[in-house]
Structure 1
């Protein structure tokens, strides 16, 4: 024992009862695990099997149901973040689960669209048209997840370098719009179905381009920090 420990007695803290210690000092309450934003996020995860089920169902309502589920997930993605910030209900578990739910929904939708493409001339002549952006988007998300996991173990500057930026927000917006259009266009009763699919694929390529671009921006920021 060093000299700092001589003549000192360790202060024993009395156990807390109902959030208040015996010495009268209030004790902080542990954060609730299931807040409203977290429940909404869990709902998005639970919606993935429903999305898959309705996607493979036949009937005039199937495409509408699939699109509705995806849109509901997109809305709750914005809503849970808004509620968490507005009502200060953010939790570490919610912060972890939110991007997981997003990636599950997007990846599932991309895989579904690739495994059962629409029977239109554009996709019959070029079945790879959906596969290429799907691989780019999913690959980027896997890479960014790994990078952010690594950044969390580094210093604050590295962690700040991978914070969501405006480029990432534009990527998400175009991605959600493209996937909504592609899911909705599976309804054969819609007019100008070919035009809808073409616009959806075009937006998906824009989203894939933004995804790769944002990844490059993040990696350049990290590289500059590491070189200092």
Structure 2
């Protein structure tokens, strides 16, 4: 096909800039990925500011996650790269936080000495994310019917909300300086279990939908 006049026009004139790769939402997303090593570093700081810094970084990541999704929609600045990196940034942050919390078992008042306390939901949540991305990838390679079947469900939203809240609480209560520590810690653990349950359940819901489509 011969290039049309507008093709040449587009290149020389520079009136239509190429789509920007680094939109603000994407920059925020890259920032969240870059914050993961920082999160790990502050977690092992023995000073009083360590746990606070870790909590602040995690909270900032959770807020920018919400913010960059909102901005991408509002400013119609969603890029393909951003859409790919956004969930990756989330999962990296969550997985890193879960692993970190598992490396430092806390004296869980109500729960006594339970070394497996956080490991169980951590493995569930991380395992679910790995399975989910594999399932999504597979569904995307199949026909369109499958992709429609696995559109985002509300369980996912609740899962994210409880997960973010639980992890923020657990990061904040590690150093024992907060008032009402025991209760907060317990609620953080309970929320994490609820989040792990929602995680697993939303995977089951997905699989069921896929199963139905396949059997049709």
Q: Give the TM-score category using the shorter length.
A: over 0.9
The superposition leaves residues 37-64 of structure 1 with CA deviations (integer Å, 9 ceiling, x where unpaired) of: 1000000000000100000001111111
CA–CA distance in structure 2, aligned partners of residues 164 and 124 of structure 1: 38
Instruction: Specify the structure having the higher radius of gyration (Cα).
Output: 1
Look up the match of 2:87.
Answer: 99
**Is 1:154 matched with 2:142?**
yes
1:13 is the counterpart of 2:19: no
Q: Could you say if the C-alpha distance between residues 17 and 144 of structure 1 is closer, same or farther in structure 2, counting changes exceeding 3 Å?
A: same
**1:121 & 1:84 partners in 2: Cα distance?**
43
Provide the rounded CA distance (Å) in 2 between the counterparts of 1:139 and 1:170. Answer: 18
SS at the partner of 2:184?
helix
64-73 or 147-156, larger mean C-alpha shift: 147-156
The within-5 A match list for 1:54-73 is: 54-73=42-61
Corresponding residue number in structure 2 for 1:8: none
Secondary structure of residue in 1 paired with 2:2 = coil
Return the structure number with greater helix share.
2
Following superposition, the deviation at residue 17 of structure 1 comes to 3.7
Among 118, 135, 147, which residue is 2:123 paired with? Answer: 135
Instruction: Quote the offset at 1:109 in angstroms.
Output: 0.2
Report what 1:222 is aligned to: 210
- TM-score (ref. length: structure 2): 0.93
Cα offsets for 1:102-132 (capped at 9, x unmatched) = 0000000000000112234456521101000
Q: Number of paired residues?
A: 215
Q: How does 1:1-228 map to 2 (within 5 A)?
A: 11-14=1-4, 16-17=7-8, 19=10, 30-122=18-110, 125-228=113-216
Structure 2: segments with no counterpart, 5+ residues: none
SS in 2 for 1:12: coil
Quote the Cα distance in structure 1 between the aligned partners of 2:99 and 2:110.
18
Report the CA distance shift for 1:49/1:123 in structure 2 as closer, same or farther (over 3 A).
Answer: farther
Give the TM-score of the pair, scaled to structure 1.
0.88
